[in-house]
Chain A
Amino acid sequence: MLGSAELSFNVDHGYLEGLVRGCKAGLLTQQDYLNLVQCETLEDLKVHLQTTDYGNFLADQTNPLTVSKIDMEMRKKLCGEFEYFRNHSLEPLSTFFTYMTCGYMIDNVVLLLSGALQKKSVRDLLGRCHPLGRFSEMEAVNIAETPSDLFHAVLVETPLAPFFQDCMSENTLDELNIEVLRNKLYKSYLEAFHNFCKDHGDVTAEVMCPILEFEADRRAFIITLNSFGTELSRDAREALYPTCGRLGPEGLRLLAQAEDFEQMKRVADHYEVYKPLLEAVGDGSAGKSLEDVFYEQEVKMNVLAFSRQFHCGVFYAYTKLREQEMRNVVWIAECISQRHRTKINSYIPIL
């Protein structure tokens, strides 16, 4: 029904939308980044961050301050906000939040499996898992030998269960198969999330579907680029591409045949959205990488999500923008701590 979002959204979700817009106003501005870039040490960085919305979040950290401590504390802050939104949400927003956490759950499962391969202790691994992707059967992931063990013993109760349909054929969990498992799980998850948003309809579908289509296409391009020179075959590569993007079956087939970056660029030339992105990639280590270019486009799309009201996409956009901010601050902190300031301005400003 046209206009139903304006009539009914605020009843259940108005408070949370107001809250998330307030949080979005607290993102670091260009001026904040200019201040951070001029810091000489991580202690200076901490002092500058105190003047922002982050406040005294590093007050409990003992000396010496390291980049990973800063990253951990920023993540804790984001998780606190996310959990607050989630705890106060009603349907269908709660299912939307559950879908958002599935991505982090997949990362955690893969971290636990590859840690088991390297014989790491469960406690170390659990400490490093992403808090937004926690689920109760996490400790038991390490004992699984094959994906079907994993599914039957562990994941049958979690939201990840439906995404395992295509992944049961792998026999043992070694490095190649874990990578294939990760990408297949993510593909199923992205397609399911896209269907959920499309079925929801309304402004949420108008905002979220393009964002998720971009995410699917981005994954296809990055998988292709990173698979050059590895043992992953073309067919195996094609099986990992999410199909809910704009590239469509024809584009994905062309991408699967690409053997180098130039061929990939020629596939992107058929799509007006992706042609300028691939052209902006610099040569070697001097210019921007493909990941940088895609991150910039993602930030643009997420900022635009806030120009519409009465939809669930603002929560997704806010979380992604916060994560980009974390990446920016960690990058600046790494450049400061390594005293390598030539690339310190490679962050992506948001506001």
Chain B
Amino acid sequence: MAAADLRAELDSLVLQLLWDLEELESKRAALNARVEEGWLSLSKARYAMGAKSVGPLQYASRMEPQVCVCTNEAQNGLQKFRVLRSGSQIPEEVGPCEAALRRRKGLTRIPEPEPFSASPNPLNWFGILVPHSLRQAQASFQEGLQLAVDMASLQIQINWGQSQLRGLQEKLKQLGLGAA
């Protein structure tokens, strides 16, 4: 029966939604913990190095981001967010680039592939010999970043799940009315 199929689909959707919500909550708690740890580690670094050694004087007002967020569409049309480090290539981009190089080989001098330049570590803005607490702060914030991106993807999935749920509930109601 169509209604039974719909109900089964509804059940699995509700379960999926609840799983996603639980994962979102746990990631949110982890993000809060990472951010708190990061800020406390920064305070510890200030305690060890001096209050003015870890502050706005150490970084430029305009800086190149080390990390970007890119989106791509998954199979079900949902957007997924992903963290991309500067300088590294997305796997999809590598293939066509090489083909272009191959085409040009016979005509002109082969363009040398750009040497991978190591992006500067922001930790060096505070000096080369930084205390362990500053490195810990960097690690905490980096983990937090990944968590934030995962949370954004999860949120989109949850919103989509909720709209699917509403649609199925409407269909079920109409089937029920139709049968009656």
Which A residues lie at the B interface, using CB under 8 A? Answer: 68, 71, 107, 111, 114-115, 118-120, 124-125, 128, 130, 175-176, 178-180, 182-183, 222-223, 225-227, 230-232, 285, 289, 291, 327, 330-331, 334-335, 338, 340, 343
Known A119-B60, A291-B47, A291-B131; 20 more pairs at CB < 8 Å: A114-B125, A114-B127, A118-B59, A118-B60, A125-B57, A175-B124, A175-B125, A175-B128, A179-B129, A225-B132, A231-B128, A289-B48, A289-B132, A289-B133, A330-B51, A335-B43, A338-B36, A338-B39, A338-B40, A338-B43
Q: Please, how many angstroms separate the alpha-carbon atoms of A4 and B3 in the complex?
A: 105
Q: Chain B residues near A226 (CB, 8 Å)?
A: 129-132
Q: Which residue of B lies closest to A261 (CB)?
A: B132
In the complex, B95 has a CB within 8 A of chain A: no
Q: Please, how many angstroms separate the alpha-carbon atoms of A130 and B52 in the complex?
A: 9
Q: List CB contacts (< 8 Å) of B18-74 with chain A.
A: 36, 39-41, 43-44, 46-48, 50-52, 55, 57-61
CB distance from A282 to the nearest CB of B (A): 12
In the complex, B136 has a CB within 8 A of chain A: yes
**Sampled A-B contacts (11; CB under 8 Å):** A107-B50, A111-B57, A118-B57, A118-B59, A175-B124, A232-B128, A289-B44, A291-B48, A330-B51, A335-B43, A338-B39
Question: Is the beta-carbon distance between A230 and B129 smaller than 8 angstroms?
Answer: yes
Which B residues lie at the A interface, using CB under 8 A? Answer: 36, 39-41, 43-44, 46-48, 50-52, 55, 57-61, 124-125, 127-133, 136
Question: Is the beta-carbon distance between A331 and B50 smaller than 8 angstroms?
Answer: no
Q: Please, how many angstroms separate the alpha-carbon atoms of A55 and B65 in the complex?
A: 45
Q: Which residue of A lies closest to B62 (CB)?
A: A119
CB distance from A298 to the nearest CB of B (A): 13
**Chain A binding site: helix, strand, loop or mixed by DSSP?**
helix
Q: A120-B57, A334-B43, A340-B40 are in contact. Are A111 and B52 (CB under 8 A)?
A: yes
Q: Please, how many angstroms separate the alpha-carbon atoms of A227 and B132 in the complex?
A: 10
CB distance from B52 to the nearest CB of A (A): 5
**Chain B binding site: helix, strand, loop or mixed by DSSP?**
helix
Partner of B52, one of A128, A180, A227, A291: A128
Q: Please, how many angstroms separate the alpha-carbon atoms of A165 and B14 in the complex?
A: 74
Partner of B57, one of A128, A182, A334: A128
Q: A175-B124, A285-B136, A291-B48 are in contact. Are A232 and B129 (CB under 8 A)?
A: yes
- Among A107, A183, A225, A289, find the residue whose CB has the most chain B CB atoms closer than 10 A: A289
Question: Is the beta-carbon distance between B58 and A118 smaller than 8 angstroms?
Answer: yes
- Among A68, A124, A225, A285, find the residue whose CB has the most chain B CB atoms closer than 10 A: A285
Q: Please, how many angstroms separate the alpha-carbon atoms of A71 and B50 in the complex?
A: 11
Q: Please, how many angstroms separate the alpha-carbon atoms of A223 and B128 in the complex?
A: 10
Q: Please, how many angstroms separate the alpha-carbon atoms of A331 and B129 in the complex?
A: 22
Q: A71-B51, A289-B131 are in contact. Are A331 and B43 (CB under 8 A)?
A: yes
Question: Is the beta-carbon distance between B128 and A179 smaller than 8 angstroms?
Answer: yes
CB distance from A280 to the nearest CB of B (A): 16
Q: A285-B136, A338-B43, A343-B40 are in contact. Are A230 and B60 (CB under 8 A)?
A: no
Q: Chain B residues near A230 (CB, 8 Å)?
A: 128-129
